[in-house]
Structure 1
Amino acid sequence: MTPQSDEDEVWRQIVASFNDTAERDSADQPWPDSENVPAEPTRRVVKPSEEPAAEPDGPDEPEGDTDPRDDGDDEDEGHFVPPPPPPLPKLDLPTKLAWVALFGGPAYLLVAAMANWHMEGWALFTAVAAFIGGFVALVVRMGDGPPSNDSGWDDGAVL
């Protein structure tokens, strides 16, 4: 027999036994001891409106709803407080003017249109030119060149 025919025979057996039920019941299969999970002690929840029933306290039972592993510091457990953010960078005068032009031009056009003001041609041109000029100035000043420090070919996420 060739290896191909052996493989074909194995596949035929797999397909033929696809819908067959398992021969052994799962209860007969051994359960590994490493899979056994120790049972936790049951805790009794007492509602404030109910009176707790008198139960004999055994030496192995914890008192009330307390957990012996509880340190009382659950308030801070798992709560992340981020460090304060770094201060915003100081902007120079050309960058400030570019931001004012970028938002000021469309803001003037919007206010003038909502107030139904008559706008001269030079005012429309100035507002549109301020918007375009502010955008271009910010893009040019963006500084998309390589980083000043040489940290290799992979800088990761550089923010």
Structure 2
Amino acid sequence: MTRQSDEDEVWRQIVASFNDTAERDSADQPWPDSENVPAEPTRRVVKPSEEPGDPGLRDGDLLDGDLLDADQHEADSPDERDEDEGHFEPPPPPPLPKLDLATKLAWVALFGGPAYLLVAAMANWHMEGWALFTAVAAFIGGFVALVVRMGDDRPNDSGWDDGAVL
């Protein structure tokens, strides 16, 4: 028998047994003991903290097996506890780099040319040939100026293995 005919026979058996029921039904299988949940939930033991700003113990917490009462420790309100939990305030971003006059003019040309064409088209202004040419040339010139001025050199302090450079 060839390898191809063996594979064909296996596929025929799979297709023939597609609608057959399983030999052992999953309802007959016993429930694993590791999945059983205990009847009474476990309580965790909390030790008081001496750090400032730590909310410490609350009502219902266990300390060495003894349940705390409200008169033993004043609990914080739930709103105060939830407000500070998981709050992250990122540091302020670094300032934007200062642009020289040529870069500013390139950005103005890049966006100014198409902006003029868009406003002129929406307002149904009659565009002279020189104005149309100037707007398109400003766009292309601004793009080329920004690409040419874009530095593709690696930083001097990057070392021999600096990974990806963006």
TM > 0.5 fold call? yes
In the alignment, structure 2 segments of 5+ residues that lack a partner are 1-21, 44-65
Q: Which has the higher contact order (CA 8 A, sep 6+)?
A: 1
Q: Deviations over 1:83-136 (max 9, x none)?
A: 011101100111000000001101111111122222111111110000000011
2:33 maps to 1:25:
no
Residue 150 (structure 1) aligns with = 158
Give the 3 Å change call, closer, same or farther, for CA 67–21 of structure 1 in structure 2. farther
RMSD, matched Cα: 3.9
> Per-residue deviation at 1:82?
0.5
The within-5 A match list for 1:86-97 is: 86-97=94-105
What TM-score comes out, normalization by structure 2 length? Answer: 0.55
CA deviation map 1:4-61 (0-9, x unaligned): xxxxxxxxxxxxxx733588734xx6659xx9797157xxxxxxxxxxxxxxxxx847
User: Structure 1 residues 152, 37: closer, same or farther in 2, change over 3 A?
Assistant: farther
Q: TM-score, structure 1 length as denominator? A: 0.57
- Aligned counterparts of 1:37 and 1:67: Cα–Cα separation in 2: 28
Helix, strand or coil: the match of 2:106?
Answer: helix
Q: Of 121, 127, 130, which residue of structure 1 is paired with 2:135?
A: 127
Deviations 1:66-97 (A, max 9, x none): 979x8x54322210001011101100111000
Unpaired runs of 5+ residues, structure 1, are 1-17, 42-58
Cα distance between partner residues in 2 of 1:98 and 1:144: 18
